[in-house]
Structure 1
Amino acid sequence: MTCFRFGGTEKGEGILPHDLKLYGYGFLPRIKTEEGSIEDDGVYFLPMLKSDYLPHSAKWDFLKKLIESPKIMKICCNAQLVLRDFYKIFGTYGVKPKNVFDPIIAAWMLNSDLESHTFIELIYHFTKKTQQATLADSNIHRFVEDMVDSLHLWDLLTENIVKFGLMDAYKLEMKVLPILSKMEVIGIGFDRDCLGKYKNTLQEKLEDIKSEATKLVGHPVLLTSPKQVATVIYDEMKLSVSGKATKNGQKSTAEEVLSQIDHPFPKLVIEYRQISKYLSTWIENTSLSAYSKEISYLPLRKQFQQPAQKEYYEDQIRIRAHWKQVGTGTGRLSCKEPNLQNLPKTTMMIEIGEGKSVDLTVRNAFVSREGYTLLGADYSQIEMRILGHMANDKYLLEFFANKGDIHSLIASRTLGKPIDQISPKERNHFKTIVYAVLYGMGPKTLSGILKISIQESSNFISKFLGKFPDVKKFIDYTVNKAKEASEVRTILGRRRVIDFSDVHRGERQALNSVIQGSAADIIKLAMISVEKKIAKTPALQNVRLLLQ
Structure 2
Amino acid sequence: MKLLAIDGNSILNRSFYGVRGLSNSKGMPTNAIFGFLNMLDKMMAETQPDMVAVAFDRSEPTFRHQQFDGYKANRHGMPEDLAVQLPIAKQLMDALGYHVLECPGFEADDIMGTFARLCREQKVDCVISSGDRDNLQLAGDGVTVRLATNKEAIFYDAEKVKEQYGVTPAELVEVKALMGDSSDNIPGVKGIGEKTALSLISKYHTIDSIFEHIPELDVTTRVKNLLGGETARQMAEMSRELGKIVDNAPIDEDLNAYLVQPQNKEELYRILSELELKKFIEKYGLSGEQRTETPAVTEQAIQYEILQNPSLESAKELLQKAGQIDFLYEQARLLIAENDKILEYTFGAEQAFSELVLQSPLPKRTHDVKTIYHVASSMGEKLENIIFSTDLAAYLLDALAKSYDLPILMEKYLTKAISVEEQYQEIAAFPLLCDTMKELLEQKGMAKLLAEIELPLSRVLASMEMEGFQVDVQGVRQFGEMLQLEIDQLTAEIHDMAGEEFNINSPKELGRILFDKLQLPTGKKTKTGYSTNVDVLEKLSAYHPIANAVLEYRKLTKLNSTYVAGLLKVTGADHRVHSVFKQTETRTGRISSTEPNMQNIPIRTELGRKMRRFFTAKEGYVLLDADYSQIELRVLAHIANDQKMIEGFLHNADIHTMTAAQVFHLPPEMVTSEMRRRAKAINFGIVYGIGAFSLSQDIHVSVAEAREYINSYLNTYPGVKQYMEQIVEQSAKTGNVTTMFGRVRELPEIQSSNKNIRAFGERVALNTPIQGTAADIIKIAMVRVYESLKQEKLDARLILQVHDELLIESSIQDAPRAKEILKQQMEQAVSLSVPMKVDVAEGKTWYDAKD
Question: How many angstroms apart in 1 are the aligned matches of 2:715 and 2:335?
Answer: 61
> Is residue 60 from structure 1 mapped to residue 347 from structure 2 by the alignment?
no
State the partner residue of 1:113.
Answer: 400
* Gap change, CA 1:194 and 1:432, over 3 Å in 2: same
1:186–1:546 contact (8 Å) kept in structure 2? yes
State the partner residue of 1:537.
Answer: 792
Choose the corresponding residue for 2:735, options 438, 462, 486.
486
State the partner residue of 1:297.
Answer: none
* Gap change, CA 1:45 and 1:224, over 3 Å in 2: same
2:660–2:676 contact (8 Å) kept in structure 1? yes
Choose the corresponding residue for 1:345, options 603, 612, 635.
603
State the partner residue of 2:329.
Answer: 3
The Cα shift of 1:490 comes to 0.4
Local SS of the residue matching 2:359: helix
State the partner residue of 2:807.
Answer: none
* Gap change, CA 1:360 and 1:480, over 3 Å in 2: closer
Local SS of the residue matching 2:741: coil
Q: Write the letter of the residue equivalent to 1:158.
A: K
Question: How many angstroms apart in 2 are the aligned matches of 1:192 and 1:433?
Answer: 41
- 1:418-437 pair list within 5 angstroms: 418-437=667-686
Choose the corresponding residue for 1:516, options 771, 791, 799.
771
* Gap change, CA 1:250 and 1:337, over 3 Å in 2: same
How many percent identity over aligned positions? 28
* Gap change, CA 1:453 and 1:379, over 3 Å in 2: same
> Is residue 126 from structure 1 mapped to residue 413 from structure 2 by the alignment?
yes
The Cα shift of 1:535 comes to 2.2
State the partner residue of 1:102.
Answer: 389
Q: Deviations over 1:199-226 (max 9, x none)?
A: 1111222222222222222333322233
Q: Write the letter of the residue equivalent to 2:333.
A: G
State the partner residue of 1:43.
Answer: 343
Q: Deviations over 1:318-355 (max 9, x none)?
A: 11000111010011111111111332234534xxxxxx
The Cα shift of 1:497 comes to 1.2
Local SS of the residue matching 2:622: coil
State the partner residue of 1:82.
Answer: 372
The Cα shift of 1:360 comes to 6.2
The Cα shift of 1:144 comes to 1.9
2:337–2:428 contact (8 Å) kept in structure 1? yes
Local SS of the residue matching 1:369: coil
1:187–1:319 contact (8 Å) kept in structure 2? yes
Question: How many angstroms apart in 2 are the aligned matches of 1:182 and 1:82?
Answer: 12
Between 1:415-424 and 1:326-335, the stretch displaced more is 415-424
Choose the corresponding residue for 1:329, options 587, 609, 618.
587
Local SS of the residue matching 1:378: strand
> Is residue 256 from structure 1 mapped to residue 505 from structure 2 by the alignment?
no
Q: Deviations over 1:17-37 (max 9, x none)?
A: xxxxxx2322112xxxxxxxx
Question: How many angstroms apart in 2 are the aligned matches of 1:326 and 1:248?
Answer: 41
The Cα shift of 1:149 comes to 4.1
Local SS of the residue matching 2:648: helix
Local SS of the residue matching 1:493: coil
Q: Deviations over 1:168-203 (max 9, x none)?
A: 111121111111111111111111111111111112
> Is residue 507 from structure 1 mapped to residue 507 from structure 2 by the alignment?
no
Question: How many angstroms apart in 2 are the aligned matches of 1:190 and 1:334?
Answer: 20
Question: How many angstroms apart in 1 are the aligned matches of 2:529 and 2:411?
Answer: 44
Question: How many angstroms apart in 2 are the aligned matches of 1:493 and 1:250?
Answer: 53
1:387–1:515 contact (8 Å) kept in structure 2? yes
Question: How many angstroms apart in 2 are the aligned matches of 1:156 and 1:250?
Answer: 58
Q: Write the letter of the residue equivalent to 2:472.
A: D
1:25–1:48 contact (8 Å) kept in structure 2? no
Local SS of the residue matching 1:508: helix
Question: How many angstroms apart in 2 are the aligned matches of 1:197 and 1:390?
Answer: 49
Q: Write the letter of the residue equivalent to 1:444.
A: F
Q: Write the letter of the residue equivalent to 1:482.
A: S
Choose the corresponding residue for 2:499, options 193, 198, 218.
218
* Gap change, CA 1:481 and 1:235, over 3 Å in 2: farther
State the partner residue of 1:304.
Answer: none
Choose the corresponding residue for 2:335, options 3, 7, 26.
26
Which structure 1 residue ranges, 5 or more long, are not aligned? 6-22, 30-38, 50-55, 134-140, 294-316, 350-358
Choose the corresponding residue for 1:454, options 682, 696, 703.
703
State the partner residue of 1:445.
Answer: 694
Question: How many angstroms apart in 2 are the aligned matches of 1:266 and 1:201?
Answer: 22
Question: How many angstroms apart in 1 are the aligned matches of 2:492 and 2:635?
Answer: 52
* Gap change, CA 1:385 and 1:168, over 3 Å in 2: same
When the two chains are superposed, the root-mean-square deviation of aligned CA atoms in Å is 2.5
Question: How many angstroms apart in 2 are the aligned matches of 1:246 and 1:165?
Answer: 57
Q: Write the letter of the residue equivalent to 2:394.
A: A
> Is residue 162 from structure 1 mapped to residue 471 from structure 2 by the alignment?
no
* Gap change, CA 1:486 and 1:41, over 3 Å in 2: same
Between 1:337-346 and 1:147-156, the stretch displaced more is 147-156
The Cα shift of 1:361 comes to 0.7
> Is residue 546 from structure 1 mapped to residue 805 from structure 2 by the alignment?
no
* Gap change, CA 1:497 and 1:334, over 3 Å in 2: same
* Gap change, CA 1:225 and 1:143, over 3 Å in 2: farther
1:188–1:319 contact (8 Å) kept in structure 2? yes
Question: How many angstroms apart in 1 are the aligned matches of 2:740 and 2:609?
Answer: 40
1:123–1:129 contact (8 Å) kept in structure 2? no
Q: Write the letter of the residue equivalent to 2:445.
A: G
Local SS of the residue matching 1:288: helix
State the partner residue of 1:288.
Answer: 569
Local SS of the residue matching 1:234: helix
Between 1:218-227 and 1:463-472, the stretch displaced more is 218-227
Q: Deviations over 1:219-248 (max 9, x none)?
A: 33322233332333233322223xx95778
2:373–2:383 contact (8 Å) kept in structure 1? no
Q: Write the letter of the residue equivalent to 1:543.
A: A
Q: Deviations over 1:400-433 (max 9, x none)?
A: 0001211111111222211111111111111111
Between 1:109-118 and 1:325-334, the stretch displaced more is 109-118
Question: How many angstroms apart in 2 are the aligned matches of 1:101 and 1:270?
Answer: 51
Local SS of the residue matching 2:799: coil
The Cα shift of 1:389 comes to 0.4
* Gap change, CA 1:248 and 1:422, over 3 Å in 2: farther
Local SS of the residue matching 2:628: coil
Question: How many angstroms apart in 2 are the aligned matches of 1:480 and 1:258?
Answer: 45
Q: Write the letter of the residue equivalent to 1:348.
A: E
Q: Write the letter of the residue equivalent to 1:432.
A: A
* Gap change, CA 1:470 and 1:249, over 3 Å in 2: farther
Q: Write the letter of the residue equivalent to 1:45.
A: Y
Question: How many angstroms apart in 2 are the aligned matches of 1:161 and 1:119?
Answer: 17
The Cα shift of 1:398 comes to 0.5
Q: Given the two structures, how large is their TM-score scaled by the length of structure 2?
A: 0.52
The Cα shift of 1:259 comes to 0.4
* Gap change, CA 1:47 and 1:264, over 3 Å in 2: farther
2:469–2:616 contact (8 Å) kept in structure 1? yes
2:335–2:342 contact (8 Å) kept in structure 1? no
Local SS of the residue matching 1:117: coil
1:332–1:517 contact (8 Å) kept in structure 2? yes
* Gap change, CA 1:360 and 1:410, over 3 Å in 2: closer
Q: Write the letter of the residue equivalent to 2:424.
A: V
* Gap change, CA 1:181 and 1:217, over 3 Å in 2: same
Local SS of the residue matching 1:269: helix
* Gap change, CA 1:257 and 1:209, over 3 Å in 2: same
Q: Write the letter of the residue equivalent to 2:798.
A: L
Q: Write the letter of the residue equivalent to 2:371.
A: L
- 1:95-244 pair list within 5 angstroms: 95=382, 97-127=384-414, 143-171=423-451, 172-241=453-522
The Cα shift of 1:96 comes to 5.2
State the partner residue of 1:310.
Answer: none
